[in-house]
Amino acid sequence: EKDLGTDIAKVLIPEDQLQAKIRELAAQIDADYEGKDLLLVAVLKGAVMVMADLSRAMHRHVSLDFMAVSSYGSGTKSSGVVRILKDLDTDISGKNVLIVEDIVDSGLTLSWLIENLRTRQPASLEVCAILRKPEAVKTDIDVKYIGFDIPNEFVVGYGLDYAEKYRNLPFVGTLAPHVYSS
Ligand code: PRP
Ligand code: MN
Ligand code: MG
């Protein structure tokens, strides 16, 4: 097994910058939801790192739940047609819900999810995403808590995968060309 590092062309966001941003977002969320219940909903699998770090950087009680969705379509593009693979365990009606995502790319996954969760009548529904791409900025999706706006490059690490690999990198980076050609 080759070393992970040899597959990385460029580190886009190093670990310390990710963690500093996580602490910043956690403090903001702590303040905004003071005195209120809060349920964090992460979208499997990409959001697991953000969920783990963000929730531990907060200084309050939170509940955690997870959804797994699959968007039809092939390769690196999602189609907007989404199927629920694993639904929430909890009833969110009347609850303050914060969706936790790793990246908003086309925004199709998130716009579907927001509509779906809204029908369950939560008290409030907001989104926290550590990364956002230019295409998503053009959509009308309101991401209240955003980590970094990044260029339109294919990135991996900190939860993001290429063919299910590289999720466990502690930083966000781009892949070397040889990874795609082999
Ligand atoms: C990725 C990413 C987001 C979504 C963003 O998930 O984690 O959930 O795509 O793309 P969009 O804004 O264009 O919809 P993916 O479907 O690859 O599943 P994964 O989280 O299990 O990797
Ligand atoms: Mn995902
Ligand atoms: Mg993926």
Mean pLDDT of 166-178: 96
Report ipTM (2 d.p.): 0.98
Active site residue 105: yes
Residue 182 vs residue 2, higher pLDDT: 182
CA nearest ligand 1 atom 22, residue: 46
Where residue 4 falls among pLDDT bands split at 50, 70, 90? confident
Ligand 3 centroid distance, CA of 166 (Å): 10
- The reported pLDDT for the residue numbered 77 is 62
pLDDT single digits (tens) 65-115 = 999 998 776 556 666 778 999 999 999 999 999 999 999 999 999 999 999
Ligand 1 centroid distance, CA of 109 (Å): 7
Give domain limits for the chain.
15-149
Task: Show the ligand 1 pocket: residues with CB < 6 angstroms.
Answer: 43-46, 71, 78, 101-110, 161
Ligand 1 centroid distance, CA of 163 (Å): 12
Residue 80 vs residue 16, higher pLDDT: 16
- Residue 163 to residue 160: CA distance in whole angstroms: 10
CATH topology of domain 15-149: Rossmann fold (3.40.50)
- Provide the mean pLDDT of the chain: 93
